[in-house]
Structure 1
Amino acid sequence: MTTDPRPLYARATAQAARLVEAVRPDQLSAPTPCAEYDVRALLGHIVGGTRGVTAVGETGTERSEPVTAPEVPDDGWAGAYEEARKRALKAWESDERMASSVTVPWGKIPGRAALSAFVMETVAHTWDLSEAIGRPFPLDPELAEFSLATAREALPEGPREGRPFGAPVPAPEGAGAYERLAAWLGRVPLSRA
């Protein structure tokens, strides 16, 4: 993949930040398309994951502690995510980091490939969150198209043992980019679950 993922990561995190800000307190215990997460747990994963993206950008290696953010109060998610995303964007500014190898949970890969995967994960979880809170605004389809191409390149079509994504499910006829991405990642919209 030759596209510089940094501008896409900036757009993906800005879109996610807008969505995190839209979460109401009464939605924190709502289910998400990620069966193991309610909205509060998904927010913890998003903030914690972004902190992990920062660690890779700053040091070249994933941190060892869990990807969660349990210390965030219910009214602090928007601030916690904004702080984490700004730090992540700064950590990935360097052309050198993009060209060098980094260590992530799935192996040692070029920084550019790692950040492309982080775009995909951010976009996927943005869709999860949007579904969970009732789709408050349209999501950027270009981000989903990039993420779908990244996911198809990185994830096998069949069983995905040891990976945080299920096997692909059929996307509905006429599905948009986010629905196709979700289906490739083994997710089903809450309305169809």
Structure 2
Amino acid sequence: MNTVSAPELIDPRPIYLGATTWVTALLRSVREVQLSLPTPCDEYDVKTLSSHLIGTVGRIIAIAELGSPESVSPIAPEYDADTFARLAELAQKAWADDAMLDKPIVAPWGESSGRIALWGYTNEVLVHGWDLAVAIGQPAEADPALVEPTAEMQRQVLPPAARVPGVPFSVVVEPRAEAGPTERLANWSGRSSVSWV
């Protein structure tokens, strides 16, 4: 089976783990003087983006434990790598039961299966990882084995025609010819590379 062509059949948990491992390393490289830098995600500077990344992990734990993320703020008070890594480890435990993948849950964008929700949060971790990496001048390409199935799932569940402007992403940006898989995934979410790479 070509796993990239059928991500709805893939267990997203190892991919989510790989994405959080990549972002943990990026967060460890953030210097204090970089916290106020802008990022390609217009809403967030580096500090707020780091807090949002922690918030997303808290929300995927809440989905597993409570069936909904609404009890957890998308912006955590912390912004450090250790908190992110600790929560990512807790997320692994919260999602350890295979039954979670097909359990009906409520995500910020509506009702879905746990599997689709985890794919959505994997995409968020990878895209915001790209945002963070380019903002702080770190290599911005995650392992293609993480990015490619995530991108395929995004193309299936969030085609351009299904988007309301800005919700949850801006319009697709045409990638640069030399863009790697992670940059292309960010472009699919509406990020422009022009000012950043």
Q: State TM-score, norm by structure 2.
A: 0.89
1:184 is aligned with what amino acid?
Answer: W
Contact 2:62–2:72, Cα closer than 8 Å, also in 1 = no
| Larger displacement relative to structure 2 (93-102 or 76-85) | 76-85
* Alignment partner, residue 125 of structure 2: 122
* Alignment partner, residue 17 of structure 1: 24
Trace 1:46-61 onto structure 2 (pairs within 5 A).
46-61=53-68
Contact 2:130–2:141, Cα closer than 8 Å, also in 1 = no
Cα offset, 1:61, TM superposition: 1.5
1:49-95 Cα offsets, whole Å, 9 max, x none, are 1100110011222224431112x2xxx60111112111111111111
1:37 to 44, 47, 52: 44
Trace 1:169-184 onto structure 2 (pairs within 5 A).
169-184=173-188
Contact 1:60–1:97, Cα closer than 8 Å, also in 2 = no
Cα offset, 1:4, TM superposition: 0.5
How many angstroms apart in 1 are the aligned matches of 2:127 and 2:140? 16
Cα offset, 1:118, TM superposition: 1.1
Contact 1:120–1:150, Cα closer than 8 Å, also in 2 = no
1:102 to 101, 105, 116: 105
Cα offset, 1:156, TM superposition: 2.8
Identity of aligned residues (%): 39
Change (3 A) 1:192 1:42: closer
Cα offset, 1:179, TM superposition: 1.7
1:117-168 Cα offsets, whole Å, 9 max, x none, are 1111111111111111102475212222122112211223145336231110
Change (3 A) 1:119 1:175: same
How many angstroms apart in 2 are the aligned matches of 1:155 and 1:192? 25
1:12-63 Cα offsets, whole Å, 9 max, x none, are 1111111111111111011111011000010010001110011001122222
* Alignment partner, residue 84 of structure 2: 81
2:187 is aligned with what amino acid?
Answer: A
Contact 1:13–1:85, Cα closer than 8 Å, also in 2 = yes
| Larger displacement relative to structure 2 (29-38 or 182-191) | 182-191
| Larger displacement relative to structure 2 (139-148 or 86-95) | 139-148
Q: Does 1:152 align with 2:155?
A: yes
How many angstroms apart in 2 are the aligned matches of 1:136 and 1:98? 32
Q: State TM-score, norm by structure 1.
A: 0.90
* Alignment partner, residue 8 of structure 1: 15
2:68 is aligned with what amino acid?
Answer: T
* Alignment partner, residue 142 of structure 1: 145
1:168 is aligned with what amino acid?
Answer: V
How many residues align? The count is 189
| Larger displacement relative to structure 2 (12-21 or 143-152) | 143-152
Secondary structure of the structure 2 residue equivalent to 1:168: coil
2:136 to 116, 133, 136: 133
* Alignment partner, residue 94 of structure 2: 91
Stretches of structure 1 that go unaligned for 5 or more consecutive residues are none
* Alignment partner, residue 26 of structure 1: 33
> CA-atom RMSD, angstroms?
1.8
